[in-house]
Structure 1
Amino acid sequence: MSNDHPPAYGLVTSVYRSSLRPIILPLALFTGIWSLVWAIGLFKEIGTDNSQHEKKLATFAIALGAMYSAVAVIEFFGTAAAGFQRYALIRIYSFLSVAAAILVIGAGLLRVIVHFMLKNDLITECTQLATNQTVDFRWGIWGPHIDHTLTASEAASWCKDAWNHDSLSEIVSLIVTIVFAALITLLAFSYAHQTSGDTAPTRLAGPAPAAYHPPYEGTSSSIPDLSYNAPYAPPAGPPPGFREMDDDDGDIGKPPGYGAGAGVAVQDKKVYDVDVESGKGDDPFADFESAPRHH
């Protein structure tokens, strides 16, 4: 079944006529930096998980760090593609953005799963790290603050409250990640589609895509050269003469003749009847010919 509706990226291109480069460039750069920060934090957490003997958390930290690292590489590639304005690179990035969206959404979903499935492991690790640690409690920007060293029970209560607070944050973060990843992918394909057609706001460097047709230059042998500098050749053969039609039915409908041999002699913009056999007619100059015609 055929679908008459244009693709989503075509809708974005039709609504936003200007180049999408000023939008793609900062978004790809921001996403790359954001993913890199997440990857660094997760890789640093591997050492903490191992020191607390939380092997499961360490394994998930490695997986999540690798996923965010791959997203960072793709987004930095997209930043370079938009920066250099190379159509081939932009086209590759549009397809890689789909993989980046899948990775970042998968990472967000995995974080939610780990948060709820490994609840006890997370609270236990947090309690071990927070026990006998000093916590700074502050009330407002200018309000008073106190330093307090947590006991084991206080640390457990504090970590449980932190886990409850992070539960809502993880769900909201997943929803925002899905929307943002879909937006980046849509813009990437819109930018690639925008730069591939003849109506692109700016022509990019690199070879033209198959959809682009160069201006007509008359290089085909089957099509005449219609450029401004092409020489003009007149049609073959002499131009047709003028022949007045007589009233008799014999001349009606006959095409104009070509010269005196066809029954017409033109001289000084006057038309004279000519006898085809003798070459003479009522032409007043026919008697002064130097020599008669021989057939």
Structure 2
Amino acid sequence: MNTTRPPPLQGNPPSYAFVTRVYRRSLRPVIIVIALLSAIWTLLWSISLFQEVGLDQDQHEHKLSIMAIVLGAMYLAIAVIGFFGVLAASLQRLFLIRLYVMATVIAAVLVVAAGIMRVVVHFVFKNDLITECTNLSTGATVDYRSGIWGPYSETQLTQPEAQSFCDNAWSHDSAGEIISLLIEIVMAALFCSISVSYYRQMLDPTSVVNSSRAPSSQYRGGAFPARYNPPYSTSVPELAYDAPYGHPAPAYAPPPGAPPKAYGGLGGKDGYDSDHDEEFDPARLPGYTPGDAKYGAGDSKTDLKDPFADFEAPSLSARRDGAPGEERDVTSRPRPGEREGFNV
């Protein structure tokens, strides 16, 4: 089990990414297609440049041949990185994808550097390029076609015609080299952003990449196969919680001695009042009305007191006489049997 894997990155791609809107979709097909196309394109460039090396040496243009070798090697390295990206995305191995993301940055730098080098060679070695083009075009056969379906004619270029032809070709290629460099810079940045976003999808356990290839729980038996990335780092041990609700309540032994008396008073030896202690009688359970023998176990005087009173209130006769300290609602009418009016 991988114990060195960093925790997954949360949230959407960074603000510099151009693929924020398509982050919820799998970028694996996009990576495969773009990597394959870039690999084929750079491979064709490298083959063309290596073929040009022999031509430059035949024309004794050694500087151009050295530049062609350097550019061909750079494009070949980019092609190798592209094919490696196709392999990494096809296998969906996190280690390979991590290497490919780092290699993508190198490939982007190589693409931009190769474009800048082509522009520099085009303008710095202008005379060498035109001279080589003139030597190769003098005496060559050129086909001229009138319209799409019209007749065409063949002619051989003289030295002045070849010179003019090469000058026009160089001027035309100047704008093309600059536009090509700008496009390569934009495409390199876009492809790097897509690669980083795909790597973030591989790290995110909730992304569509991991959820689409997660095996069924009924077949994997709770274990993650080698090709499926665990959702987070397993370096921290699992902390189990021992819930007390899954265990039965412990048994307790009864207290020693006989059970307490049924009716107790306010204090004494065996209860709260030894004068009122009585033996337990199941037939004499507490009653519910005053005067009932089963109303309660305490003193009859204390039983008739108001259990909700929090102070010593005046008696009923004192309240009828209007004793001081009485609290009453002055807005209410007197109760039946009381005098009309208020006492001052």
Q: 2:23·2:197 contact (CA, 8 Å) conserved in 1? A: no
- Shift of residue 102, structure 1, vs aligned partner: 0.2
Alignment partner, residue 57 of structure 1: 64
Alignment partner, residue 123 of structure 1: 130
Q: How does 1:211-250 map to 2 (within 5 A)?
A: 212=232, 220=238, 222-224=239-241, 232-238=246-252
User: Is 116-125 or 8-17 further displaced after alignment?
Assistant: 8-17
- Shift of residue 85, structure 1, vs aligned partner: 1.2
The alignment status of 1:194 with 2:207, answered yes or no, reads: no
Alignment partner, residue 325 of structure 2: none
Structure 2 distance, partners of 1:282, 1:225, is 45
Alignment partner, residue 229 of structure 2: 208
- Shift of residue 195, structure 1, vs aligned partner: 1.1
CA RMSD of aligned residues (A): 3.2
Structure 2 distance, partners of 1:264, 1:103, is 94
Q: Give the secondary structure class of the aligned counterpart of 2:280.
A: coil
Structure 1 distance, partners of 2:35, 2:259, is 83
Deviations 1:171-190 (A, max 9, x none): 11101111111111110000
Which of 262, 265, 268 is matched with 1:273 structurally? 262
Alignment partner, residue 177 of structure 2: 170
Alignment partner, residue 52 of structure 2: 45
The alignment status of 1:27 with 2:47, answered yes or no, reads: no
Alignment partner, residue 138 of structure 1: 145
The number of equivalent residue pairs is 246
Q: 2:13·2:200 contact (CA, 8 Å) conserved in 1? A: no
Identical pairs, percent: 47
Extract unaligned runs of 5+ from structure 1. Answer: 239-257, 266-271, 286-295
TM-score of the superposition, structure 2-length normalised?
0.64
Q: 1:8·1:186 contact (CA, 8 Å) conserved in 2? A: no
Instruction: Classify 1:198/1:259 alpha carbon distance in 2 versus 1 (closer, same or farther; 3 Å).
Output: same
Alignment partner, residue 342 of structure 2: none
Structure number with greater Rg is 2
Structure 2 distance, partners of 1:262, 1:71, is 93
Alignment partner, residue 282 of structure 1: 280
Structure 1 distance, partners of 2:281, 2:78, is 98
The alignment status of 1:78 with 2:92, answered yes or no, reads: no
- Shift of residue 193, structure 1, vs aligned partner: 0.5
In structure 2, give the amino acid aligned to 1:138. R
TM-score of the superposition, structure 1-length normalised?
0.74
Instruction: Classify 1:202/1:208 alpha carbon distance in 2 versus 1 (closer, same or farther; 3 Å).
Output: same
Q: Give the secondary structure class of the aligned counterpart of 2:206.
A: coil
Extract unaligned runs of 5+ from structure 2. Answer: 1-11, 214-225, 272-277, 284-344
Deviations 1:209-256 (A, max 9, x none): 6x7257xxxx83x52267xxxx92124344xxxxxxxxxxxxxxxxxx
